[in-house]
Amino acid sequence: MTQITCPFCHSDNLVTLSPQQAGLGQLEVLLEAMSPAAMAALGVKLSRQLDIPPIVGGLIGVVVGGGLMLVNQQILSKYQSLNHRYLCNGCQNSFVSVAA
Protein backbone atom coordinates (compact mmCIF):
# COMPACT_ATOMS: atom_id res chain seq x y z
CA MET A 1 0.00 0.00 0.00
CA THR A 2 1.38 3.39 -0.94
CA GLN A 3 1.77 6.18 1.58
CA ILE A 4 -0.49 9.13 0.81
CA THR A 5 1.12 12.55 1.11
CA CYS A 6 -0.25 16.05 0.74
CA PRO A 7 0.06 17.26 -2.87
CA PHE A 8 0.62 20.83 -1.62
CA CYS A 9 3.33 20.50 1.04
CA HIS A 10 4.18 16.76 0.73
CA SER A 11 3.52 16.13 4.42
CA ASP A 12 2.28 12.74 5.56
CA ASN A 13 0.51 14.20 8.62
CA LEU A 14 -3.04 13.70 7.27
CA VAL A 15 -6.49 13.24 8.73
CA THR A 16 -9.24 11.35 6.87
CA LEU A 17 -12.43 13.42 6.72
CA SER A 18 -15.81 11.81 7.29
CA PRO A 19 -18.32 11.94 4.41
CA GLN A 20 -20.24 14.73 6.18
CA GLN A 21 -17.05 16.80 6.52
CA ALA A 22 -16.14 16.04 2.92
CA GLY A 23 -19.13 17.96 1.57
CA LEU A 24 -21.71 15.24 1.07
CA GLY A 25 -24.25 17.12 3.19
CA GLN A 26 -25.57 19.01 0.16
CA LEU A 27 -26.03 15.76 -1.73
CA GLU A 28 -28.01 14.27 1.15
CA VAL A 29 -30.32 17.31 1.16
CA LEU A 30 -30.92 16.80 -2.56
CA LEU A 31 -31.65 13.11 -2.00
CA GLU A 32 -34.23 13.99 0.67
CA ALA A 33 -35.97 16.27 -1.83
CA MET A 34 -36.36 13.26 -4.15
CA SER A 35 -37.61 10.92 -1.42
CA PRO A 36 -40.59 8.66 -2.11
CA ALA A 37 -42.79 10.81 0.16
CA ALA A 38 -41.84 14.02 -1.65
CA MET A 39 -42.35 12.39 -5.05
CA ALA A 40 -45.73 11.04 -3.92
CA ALA A 41 -46.81 14.55 -2.92
CA LEU A 42 -45.67 15.85 -6.29
CA GLY A 43 -47.53 13.03 -8.04
CA VAL A 44 -50.75 13.85 -6.17
CA LYS A 45 -50.43 17.53 -7.06
CA LEU A 46 -49.77 16.81 -10.74
CA SER A 47 -52.56 14.25 -10.95
CA ARG A 48 -55.08 16.76 -9.61
CA GLN A 49 -54.05 19.23 -12.31
CA LEU A 50 -54.39 16.55 -15.00
CA ASP A 51 -57.78 15.25 -13.73
CA ILE A 52 -56.33 11.85 -12.81
CA PRO A 53 -57.28 10.24 -9.48
CA PRO A 54 -54.80 11.47 -6.83
CA ILE A 55 -54.15 7.94 -5.60
CA VAL A 56 -52.74 7.03 -9.01
CA GLY A 57 -50.41 10.05 -8.98
CA GLY A 58 -49.34 9.23 -5.44
CA LEU A 59 -48.54 5.62 -6.28
CA ILE A 60 -46.58 6.63 -9.37
CA GLY A 61 -44.68 9.18 -7.27
CA VAL A 62 -43.80 6.55 -4.65
CA VAL A 63 -42.53 4.16 -7.32
CA VAL A 64 -40.48 6.87 -9.06
CA GLY A 65 -39.12 8.16 -5.73
CA GLY A 66 -38.18 4.66 -4.61
CA GLY A 67 -36.38 3.99 -7.88
CA LEU A 68 -34.49 7.28 -7.63
CA MET A 69 -33.55 6.49 -4.03
CA LEU A 70 -32.12 3.09 -5.00
CA VAL A 71 -30.10 4.55 -7.87
CA ASN A 72 -28.81 7.41 -5.70
CA GLN A 73 -27.79 5.04 -2.91
CA GLN A 74 -25.76 2.95 -5.34
CA ILE A 75 -24.07 6.04 -6.78
CA LEU A 76 -23.38 7.46 -3.31
CA SER A 77 -21.91 4.20 -2.00
CA LYS A 78 -19.67 3.89 -5.07
CA TYR A 79 -18.51 7.50 -4.61
CA GLN A 80 -17.75 6.97 -0.93
CA SER A 81 -15.84 3.74 -1.58
CA LEU A 82 -13.71 5.21 -4.39
CA ASN A 83 -12.91 8.68 -3.07
CA HIS A 84 -11.23 9.51 0.21
CA ARG A 85 -10.94 13.12 1.33
CA TYR A 86 -7.99 14.13 3.50
CA LEU A 87 -7.04 17.21 5.49
CA CYS A 88 -3.35 18.03 5.81
CA ASN A 89 -2.36 19.06 9.33
CA GLY A 90 0.73 20.77 7.93
CA CYS A 91 -0.79 23.28 5.48
CA GLN A 92 -4.53 22.86 6.33
CA ASN A 93 -5.45 22.12 2.70
CA SER A 94 -7.94 19.38 1.88
CA PHE A 95 -7.73 17.09 -1.13
CA VAL A 96 -9.29 13.96 -2.62
CA SER A 97 -7.37 10.76 -3.18
CA VAL A 98 -8.97 8.24 -5.50
CA ALA A 99 -8.53 4.62 -4.54
CA ALA A 100 -6.91 2.50 -7.21
Q: What is the pLDDT of residues 61-100, one digit of tens each?
A: 999 999 988 887 787 776 666 567 888 988 988 877 765 4
pLDDT bracket for residue 54 (50, 70, 90): very high
Integer Cα distance of 62 and 31 in angstroms: 14
Q: What is the pLDDT of residues 5-15, one digit of tens each?
A: 888 898 888 88
Residue 22, CA distances (Å) to 79, 95, 100 in order = 12, 9, 19
Contact (CB, 8 A) for 69 and 36: yes
Name the H helices within the chain: 25-33, 36-49, 54-82
CB neighbours (10 Å) of residue 15?
11
